């Protein structure tokens, strides 16, 4: 993103986080929830549902073309093969679908209606994903938005925009970076970011030791 947009979203996210902390403290004080309830939710997104799941899925797709095809054809079934602790129940995980970047296509994920997001594979959505400006511009001028994220897309490459909803929640299988021949799935997964699985970043090649 542009520096101004980053600053704008950082400020809004900080203000939102402060409100959430204040509300959490009030609800605990009033006995509506317990501190252990909050800890349980946080633990879920740290250990069960999060971008580490998506990274493992992408890494497997990179090393196994047959698995990648199954992932694109029937995403929930292919994910189930890896036996991840995704917490698949609920709309956030029941209707996921994957699309793959390639030499002639780049995919961008947005949600024009709200902030529908595949939580089990990407974790909690960043604040800017929910921003009406991002949601609207992602449809109207996706190449401009990608440039602001530091991803300039050649005019010779098709940009496909996928609109997540309660009926289907998309994520991207990014292209495998160069200089990763011989990497294990674990090493490959460590390179994958949530932003790359949203299409607003590329997976960076490993730096030389």
Q: Annotated catalytic sites, by residue?
A: 111, 114-116
Rounded to 10 degrees, the C-alpha dihedral 172/51/45/48 comes to: 100
Residue closest to 187 by CA, chosen among 60, 51, 47? 60
Q: Are 155 and 81 in contact (CB under 8 A)?
A: no
Nearest-angstrom CA–CA distance, 192 and 174: 8
Q: Are 1 and 9 in contact (CB under 8 A)?
A: yes
Report d(CA 88, CA 98) in Å as an integer: 15
Residues 6+ apart with CB under 8 A from 81: 67, 70
The residue with tokens 């991803």 is: 151
């Amino acid at each position: 993103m542009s520096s101004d947009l980053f600053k704008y979203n950082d400020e809004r996210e900080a203000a939102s986080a402060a409100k959430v902390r204040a509300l959490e403290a009030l609800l605990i004080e009033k006995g509506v929830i317990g501190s252990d309830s909050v800890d349980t939710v946080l633990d879920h997104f740290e250990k069960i549902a999060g971008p580490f799941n998506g990274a493992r899925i992408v890494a497997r797709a990179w090393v196994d073309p047959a698995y990648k095809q199954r992932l694109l054809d029937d995403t929930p079934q292919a994910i189930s093969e890896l036996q991840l602790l995704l917490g698949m129940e609920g709309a956030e995980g029941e209707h996921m679908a994957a699309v793959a970047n390639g030499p002639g296509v780049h995919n961008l994920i947005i949600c024009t209606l709200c902030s529908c997001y595949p939580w089990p594979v990407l974790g909690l959505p960043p604040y800017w994903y929910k921003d009406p400006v991002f949601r609207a511009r992602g449809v109207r001028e996706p190449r401009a938005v990608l440039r602001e994220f530091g991803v300039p897309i050649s005019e010779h490459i098709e940009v496909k925009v996928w609109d997540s909803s309660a009926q289907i929640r998309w994520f991207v299988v990014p292209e495998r970076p160069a200089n990763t021949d011989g990497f294990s799935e674990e090493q490959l997964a460590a390179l994958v970011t949530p932003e790359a699985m949203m299409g607003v970043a590329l997976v960076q090649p490993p730096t030389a030791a």
